[in-house]
Structure 1
Amino acid sequence: MQEFKETISFIQNYYNTKEFIPLHEPRFHGNEKKYVMDAVESTFVSSVGAYVDKFEEMMEVISRTNKAIAVVNGTSGLQVALRLAGVSAGDEVITQALTFVATANAIAYNNAQPVFLDVDLDTMGLSPVAVENFLEEYGEIRGEACYNKKTNKKIAACLPMHTFGFPVKIEELLKICKKWKIPFVEDAAESLGSYYKDKPTGSFGELGVFSFNGNKIVTSGGGGAIVTNNLELGKKAKYLTTTAKKPHSYEYVHDELGYNYRMPNLNAALACAQLENLDIFLSKKRKLAENYAKFFENTNIKFKKEVPCTKANYWLMAVELENMEQRDLFLKTTNEAKVMTRPIWQLMYKLPMYRNCFKDEQKNAEFLEDRIVNISSSVPLK
């Protein structure tokens, strides 16, 4: 209990307040008001406007990809990315159960079924060993695709999620997916600014998807981005997210099922201003992570740190408690002191809509579910 009180004191001193400290609040220190008012005055406040174009250009530079497409949120981006990767009704998609529900929902929105495999303890993301073991037991190459020989369903994609901004073991997963002819799509919703071997997350797969929700490092209020190095896929992504409308100056012709998923210019204006400060935000968050790591060094609370060959954005700082009892006590003590903390997500296969999905042993995921807590992670004001 004393360590918990010392943690509360450390956080209060770092943020210089004894008032309520949220988990992750946005910072608006730049051109946000200026750009939003400019968008209002332009009258282009919906899905067409200069800031949408500017946002997409900025994201192409940041993600080092050839094409970025602005969308209304990360979930819609994942849904479209999976469709573009070839996921169809009845297919299976390999992913992790230790994730935010949007990862699994995006699969279900394509009428496909998640296959929940275990995570690694260090990255908290999809384990290459778990994927390899699953495919060795159930996988079968038929022509140019991989099938589950037990269910006879196509394994249409692999969708890892970079948990809290910590990159998964991308090269190992890519090697396995290439061997088994499975498209690789990155759920990079939480990892804007994270790197694996000096290359941005989101740029490794056929497509990557980012989120700009209100609690992310960079926010557009609500928004997302699909990124890809495949210009044809990028073109198709923009087409599908704009209701599959054929270009014409005044006629409305839609030749396939599309989505009204475009990010409004108002949101893009906010995002552009936020992206201008991304490097500053990342630097301050890494400094916060360094201070947390030093503080927790001689305690029984383990601070989760980036693994070798990666550079994490430390979107949400995470600590590992000794057991579930200690986790629950930590959560109660901190929240009662107005320092917001929260447990990691409930595993997806425990939710009613995913209870019948395949899962492996989930030894690591269940270990982490019982112990991981997110702590105050807002960009410090100082």
Structure 2
Amino acid sequence: MGGFNDVTDYIKELYNTSEFIPLHVPRFRGNEKKYLENCIDTTFVSSVGAYVDLFETKMAEVTNTKKAVAVVNGTAGIQVALRLAGVVSGDEVITQALTFVATANAIAYNNAHPVFVDVDRDTMGLSPKAVSLFLEAHGELRDDGCYNTLTGRKISACLPMHTFGFPVHLDELISVCKRWRITLIEDAAESLGSTYKGQPTGSFGKLGVFSFNGNKIATSGGGGVIVSSNIALAEKGKYLTTTAKRPHSYEYYHDELGYNYRMPNINAALACAQLEQLDRFLLEKRELAKLYDTFFKSRDIRFRTELPETQANYWLMCVELADKAERDAFLKQTNEQGVMTRPIWQLMFRLPMFAHCQRDNQKNAIFLEERIVNIPSSVR
């Protein structure tokens, strides 16, 4: 196992710096300052304003859905999307253990139970085959839906996450969910701009959720979006995230438990300016991915690329090392030399709050956990 000096040298050359290179930073090259100043001038910097409305309109267009709801972050968006889809306390939600903790946390916030099913190696996202095998072994269809024969709980939703912007095998997963009458919700937090067979991720499920955190391909500083082509459902999401307040010129009346999950207008102003540059960001990401792919092929290291009939946004780019020992050596050397690299997340069932959750063998998830490393992916 050789060293990785040439890797750090190449990445520093790509970014034309000898300074520390972070994993992913935002780029503000458009109307960000103009819109922020305008927002401040209007004094509408909080939870209502023209930029919130414009941002929601733009996101519905970008995702090819009928309505978008701006929220404070992606985690809150998933929590509300699950509730909108009918997930109630005590239900189960099938998802992947190879994900950022927000996916599982959002399920728990609804007092529901994550069920961790394996991923596919090629997408690093929830495996339709593994979901089908799990349901054939443990699923039972009843009049009101699918139940887990081991726990007796209703399986109300399936929540795949498009890992690093690589779409899961959606056609097959949709087919499995339809067969078992389970609602599909997309955790599209990382996949803004990604497509599957020409259609944007986030638009396939009953609802989709995106993140606009500071490290995402486009950012509002902090923020998220729920999208759906079910207008009534999305409008209910807007209502719930606005404290479930009934419209009135001056009275405050709330008729069910809601959330103060509104995106501030000042964050939406930043997001609008970022969305104007999304096509450029995606193009520059693809150019960087091509350079990385060529370089790592010369080092006999696999650089993860999109699958046929998909287009990835290459949000966080990653390499697959030969084994855990090589992964650890790669991480140590690159970070010591001022190039930030990061292992993929620890699997959710290794965390104390989710250690009790039901899971399958997780063969592919464990394989990837031991080998995948993220490398600097910022637009240059």
Instruction: State TM-score, norm by structure 2.
Output: 0.99
Secondary structure of residue in 2 paired with 1:184:
strand
**Distance apart, 1:189 and its partner CA:** 0.0
**Matched positions, count:** 380
Aligned to 2:90: 90
The letter for the 1-side match of 2:302 is: K
Is residue 322 of structure 2 the alignment partner of residue 322 of structure 1? yes
Q: In structure 1, how many angstroms separate the alpha carbons of the residues matched to 2:234 and 2:161?
A: 21
**Distance apart, 1:300 and its partner CA:** 3.0
Within a 5 Å distance, the mapping from 1:1-382 to structure 2 comes to: 2=2, 4-380=4-380
**Distance apart, 1:314 and its partner CA:** 0.3
Alpha-carbon contact 1:144-1:181 (below 8 Å) kept: no
Q: In structure 2, how many angstroms separate the alpha carbons of the residues matched to 1:126 and 1:238?
A: 28
Q: In structure 1, how many angstroms separate the alpha carbons of the residues matched to 2:142 and 2:4?
A: 55
Secondary structure of residue in 2 paired with 1:141:
strand
Q: What's the CA shift string for 1:174-226, capped at 9, x where partnerless?
A: 00000000000000000000000000000000000000000000000000000
Instruction: State TM-score, norm by structure 1.
Output: 0.99
The letter for the 1-side match of 2:86 is: G
Q: In structure 1, how many angstroms separate the alpha carbons of the residues matched to 2:118 and 2:309?
A: 21
Secondary structure of residue in 2 paired with 1:235:
helix
Q: What's the CA shift string for 1:42-81, capped at 9, x where partnerless?
A: 0000010000000000001000000000000000000000
Alpha-carbon contact 1:300-1:321 (below 8 Å) kept: no
Q: What's the CA shift string for 1:107-142, capped at 9, x where partnerless?
A: 000000000000000100000111000000111111
Alpha-carbon contact 1:128-1:176 (below 8 Å) kept: yes
List alignment gaps of at least 5 residues for structure 2. none
Q: Where does structure 1 differ by over 3 angstroms across 4 or more consecutive aligned residues? A: none
Alpha-carbon contact 1:184-1:206 (below 8 Å) kept: yes
Instruction: Indicate the percent of aligned positions where both proteins have the same amino acid.
Output: 68
CA RMSD of aligned residues (A): 0.7
**Distance apart, 1:297 and its partner CA:** 1.1
Alpha-carbon contact 1:300-1:322 (below 8 Å) kept: no
Secondary structure of residue in 1 paired with 2:83:
helix
List alignment gaps of at least 5 residues for structure 1. none
The letter for the 2-side match of 1:372 is: I
Q: In structure 1, how many angstroms separate the alpha carbons of the residues matched to 2:112 and 2:297?
A: 44
Q: What's the CA shift string for 1:78-126, capped at 9, x where partnerless?
A: 0000000010000000000000000000000000000000000010000
Alpha-carbon contact 1:156-1:182 (below 8 Å) kept: yes
**Distance apart, 1:327 and its partner CA:** 0.6
Q: In structure 2, how many angstroms separate the alpha carbons of the residues matched to 1:187 and 1:122?
A: 18
**Distance apart, 1:144 and its partner CA:** 3.5
**Distance apart, 1:2 and its partner CA:** 4.9
Q: In structure 2, how many angstroms separate the alpha carbons of the residues matched to 1:4 and 1:37?
A: 45
Secondary structure of residue in 1 paired with 2:21:
coil
The letter for the 2-side match of 1:356 is: H
Q: In structure 2, how many angstroms separate the alpha carbons of the residues matched to 1:22 and 1:163?
A: 20
**Distance apart, 1:3 and its partner CA:** 5.4
Q: In structure 1, how many angstroms separate the alpha carbons of the residues matched to 2:168 and 2:3?
A: 30
Q: In structure 2, how many angstroms separate the alpha carbons of the residues matched to 1:280 and 1:3?
A: 35
The letter for the 2-side match of 1:117 is: V
Q: In structure 1, how many angstroms separate the alpha carbons of the residues matched to 2:198 and 2:261?
A: 31
Moved more, 292-301 or 190-199: 292-301
